[in-house]
A = this chain, B = another copy of it.
Amino acid sequence: MAVTLAAPPRLGHVEAASAEVSPGAALAAALHRPVCVLGLGLIGGSLLRAATDAGRDAWGASASSTTVEKARADGYDVADSVADAIARAAARDALVVVAVPMTALDDVLAVVAREAPQCRLTDVTSVKEPVAEAVARRAPATRFVGGHPMTGTEFSGWDAGSLQLFQEKVWVVATDDDIDLDVWVDVVALALACGSTVVPAASDEHDLAVARISHLPHLLAAVLASVGADGGELALALAAGSFTDGTRVAATRPELTAAMCEGNRTALLAGLDDALGRLGAARGSLASTGGLLSTLTAGHGARTDLDEARRHRREVRIDLAGAPADFLDAMRELGRTGGRIIGWTGDALDAVEAALEEE
């Protein structure tokens, strides 16, 4: 199910502003919000490229001087330091995007808390609850709405980035009850501007889901690669599509995968135990009666359902009038049932245009 989004109910009431603004003006601000990207690896570097290309005032920062040089040489706006980038974000009311690995998160949040304690903040990290907890601990006054673009490659660093990385991908936007709806709209607008569609999800539901469809696949890929290598050079010489595809993400830097998986330990253990149970049952059946058909038929059905769901996507338009709590509920239910946001309604964009003409 795909939906276009009208301006959500509370949009137009900006907490920090002294007066109410029109919904059109508020959405216009979200659509043109400056973007500050902290960390310029595969995801952050791609985001700086995509946001710049989408016409945003966008700048980045990296702790690595080599990365800073490369990004500048490619024509992008990179601040002299992380602190400078954040200070600029505070001055321009930008959306700050944390794009560093989990291991560097606390340090970056400390600088955010110092330079822009109340800024609009999101992230592009894999797990959502641990990041939200770190933000609550380190930068509690920021207006944080987590995000997770479901994209990537097995490569890392600025050079691996691409303008296209978010095109036609899914970008999860955390839709918890305590969020700032204006920043939620900022994050949705950025995701759509980069070419993604948006799946709204509660942080805990997101973490359970990605354990199964992202973290477990990375772990299985690593194990499969090792089992293949145990078969020696003949086995590797015979490796074709099933092995190559099944081990592709094992080429990701293991430190990044480890940080991602370990940061979602409880959810991953549940998914892993599900996998171990199914594999154990298959092993028992293969060793005794020899039958793998029930395991394989279940997997076949699951995979065909996925393909079907991807082919048959209905587009509907949801009426979002109502209280903010209803809106967040409706958004989570949309995500839970496989739906996604694909753009703004014509009405919302008309209001933006009217607001811009009034200026």
Q: Which of A's residues lie within 8 Å of B, judged by CB?
A: 150-153, 169-170, 172, 199, 201, 205-206, 208-214, 216-255, 257-258, 261-262, 265, 268-269, 271-276, 278-280, 282-283, 286-287, 290-293, 295-307, 309, 335-340
Contact = CB atoms under 8 A, between A and B. Distances in A.
B279 A279 contact: yes
A224 B220 contact: yes
**Which one of A170, A224, A268, A304 has the greatest number of beta carbons of chain B within 10 Å?**
A224
Nearest to A306: B236
A41 B295 CA distance: 24
A286 to B, nearest CB: 6
B251 A305 contact: no
Given A221-B242, A233-B309, A276-B279, 20 more contacts: A150-B240, A212-B227, A213-B228, A217-B246, A218-B296, A219-B282, A221-B303, A225-B300, A228-B302, A232-B336, A234-B335, A234-B337, A237-B338, A241-B249, A242-B248, A245-B245, A247-B306, A250-B300, A258-B292, A269-B283
A209 to B, nearest CB: 4
A182 to B, nearest CB: 25
Given A268-B286, A306-B225, A243 B213 contact: yes
Contacts of A268: 286
Contacts of A286: 261-262, 265, 268-269, 272
Q: Which 7 A-B pairs have the closest CB atoms?
A: A222-B299, A233-B338, A229-B302, A254-B296, A209-B235, A225-B302, A217-B242
A241 B290 contact: no
8 contacts: A208-B231, A219-B295, A229-B305, A233-B336, A234-B335, A241-B248, A245-B246, A245-B248
A226 B279 CA distance: 11
